[in-house]
């Protein structure tokens, strides 16, 4: 059978990979020793010239279904790994068939939950991890996506201003529907609670999580926080017509959560005495879009909010309140953000992405200033952070071979 490759962004070098060998036999020439989550399939992280992919062996029909579903999620702007292609028609040296392979783009600066704990994540960070999972689930449900296998194992996490953002990495059981029923949403939540409970017990059994952590209490956060967020994003709110300010208040609350309201359903009664509002279309990324509009930079929403706050601090400190906000933001970018990021030595640029690095420097500045009893400068803070904190952190990104840190995207 002839080898067949279906790819959204064809990379000719894909043909050169050893497709006639089972994936578990691929050697160091191609496999990158990056952490990967648990999977029912054989999965390897590979490097191909200047790109890094995740490759998963599976059945042909399942591979094509997941590939197309991930492409749909990508077009909808939802947080999921980016599909690259499907390889079929594989045969070994004895002409025996091998499984099809699904290729996805490796998500830089992302880690599976087990690696986060092996890197020193403590029980105090569990609520942030659960929040990230819940936000992902709510966003998928808002898009009428049924997950069918909610778990920490099927997610990759990226650091985001001290918290986390979650990305769907396995859509094998997922389904986009015309309308997602409440019972299907409830099933996803229930399944997520069951799977996360088992995963937490497994972490405790391996010694990666403190034994005194009550897994049942942590899991209850999933349902509680899901219900609260879903209610805030979709629930109806009724009030007297004399309190129309509550419409703006609702929008501001959603903005504070990081969501933009794209459409709001407003209904009045016959006499116009009562008003009912219900968001009809909301999307996460309020602060991300605002930061991008001001600076051209992309960041996770919590990171973007932190940078917007620092732009506001910069504006006040330099008495620039009457200046054009975009011009002030550009000045902040060239005078504050870029010089601090440039201070990181090339060998340390794979430890944290720049936006998260900036957040951590801000936190470190607060600690240093409190200890000194006076405000510590940004550059002094950055030097101390790089020497005493960043140097001890493990790499969370892989650099492409032959590229300098300046040439390597995202480094």
pLDDT digits (tens, 9 = 90+) for 301-314: 999 999 999 999 99
Greatest C-alpha distance within the chain: 80
Whether 247 and 280 map to the same domain: the answer is: yes
Q: Is 403 in contact with 47 (CB distance < 8 Å)?
A: no
- The angle at the Cα of 80, spanning 79 to 81, to the nearest 5 degrees, equals 135
How is residue 410 written in tokens? 């995202």
- What is the reported pLDDT for 255? 87
User: Looking at residue 58, what is its pLDDT?
Assistant: 92
Give the domain-ending residue among 106, 134, 156.
Answer: 106
Q: Check residue 285 and give its pLDDT.
A: 87
User: CA 340, 341, 345, 349 torsion: positive or negative?
Assistant: positive
- Which residues, other chains included, contact 63 with Cβ-Cβ below 8 Å and sequence gap of 6+? 56, 86, 88, 100, 101, 102
Q: Which pTM value belongs to this model? A: 0.82
Long-range contacts of 122-125 (CB under 8 A, 24+ apart): 122/210, 123/209, 123/210, 123/213
| β-sheet bridge partners, residue 268 | 275
Q: How confident is the model at residue 124 (pLDDT cuts 50, 70, 90)?
A: confident
Tally of domains in the chain: 4
Same domain, 117 and 223: yes
- Lowest pLDDT segment from 76-85, 113-122, 340-349: 113-122
Tell me the mean pLDDT in the region 49-59: 88
Measured from the Cβ of residue 92, the count of other Cβ atoms closer than 10 Å reads 13
Are 371 and 379 within 8 A, CB to CB?
no
* 51: in domain: yes
CATH number of residue 60's parent domain: 3.30.200
Q: Which of 234, 249, 274 is the last residue of a domain?
A: 234
Among 36-50, 172-186, 282-296, the minimum mean pLDDT is found in 36-50
Q: Are 116 and 228 found together in one domain?
A: yes
What token pair was written down for 320?
């620039």
The answer to the question of residue 220 being in a domain is yes
How much of the chain, in percent, has pLDDT values that exceed 90? 48
Assess contact for 342 and 378: CB atoms under 8 A: no
């Amino acid at each position: 059978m002839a080898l067949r490759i279906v790819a959204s962004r064809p990379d000719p070098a894909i043909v050169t990979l050893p497709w006639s060998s089972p994936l578990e036999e691929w050697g160091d020439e191609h496999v990158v020793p990056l952490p990967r989550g648990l999977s029912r399939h054989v999965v390897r992280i590979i490097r191909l010239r200047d790109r890094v992919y995740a490759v998963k062996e599976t059945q042909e029909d399942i591979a094509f279904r997941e590939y197309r579903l991930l492409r749909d999620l990508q077009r909808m702007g939802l947080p999921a790994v980016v599909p690259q292609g499907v390889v079929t028609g594989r045969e070994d040296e004895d002409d025996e068939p091998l499984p099809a392979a699904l290729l996805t783009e490796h998500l830089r600066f992302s880690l599976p939950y087990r690696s986060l704990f092996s890197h020193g994540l403590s029980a105090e960070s569990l609520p942030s991890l659960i929040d990230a999972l819940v936000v992902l689930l709510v966003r998928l449900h808002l898009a009428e996506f049924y997950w069918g296998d909610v778990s920490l194992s099927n997610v990759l996490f990226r650091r985001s201003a001290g918290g986390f953002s979650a990305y769907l990495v396995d859509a094998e059981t997922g389904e986009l529907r015309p309308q997602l029923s409440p019972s299907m949403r409830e099933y996803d939540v229930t399944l997520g609670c069951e799977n996360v409970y088992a995963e937490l017990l497994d972490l405790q059994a391996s010694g990666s999580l403190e034994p005194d952590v009550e897994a049942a209490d942590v899991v209850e956060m999933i349902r509680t926080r899901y219900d609260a967020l879903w209610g805030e994003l979709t629930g109806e709110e009724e009030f007297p017509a004399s309190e129309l300010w509550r419409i703006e208040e609702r929008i501001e609350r959603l903005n504070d959560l990081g969501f933009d309201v794209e459409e709001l359903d407003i209904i009045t009664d016959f006499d116009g005495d009562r008003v009912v509002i219900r968001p009809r279309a909301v999307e996460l990324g309020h602060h991300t879009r605002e930061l991008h509009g001001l600076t051209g930079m992309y960041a996770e929403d919590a990171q973007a909010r932190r940078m917007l706050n620092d732009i506001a601090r910069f504006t006040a400190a330099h008495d620039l309140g009457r200046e054009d906000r975009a011009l002030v933001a550009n000045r902040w970018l060239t005078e504050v953000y870029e010089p601090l990021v440039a201070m990181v030595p090339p060998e340390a640029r794979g430890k944290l992405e720049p936006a998260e690095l900036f957040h951590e420097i801000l936190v470190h500045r607060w600690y240093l200033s409190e200890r000194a009893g006076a405000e510590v400068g940004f550059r002094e803070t950055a030097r101390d952070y790089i020497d005493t904190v960043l140097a001890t952190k493990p790499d969370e990104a892989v650099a492409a071979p032959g590229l300098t840190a300046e040439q390597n995207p995202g480094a």
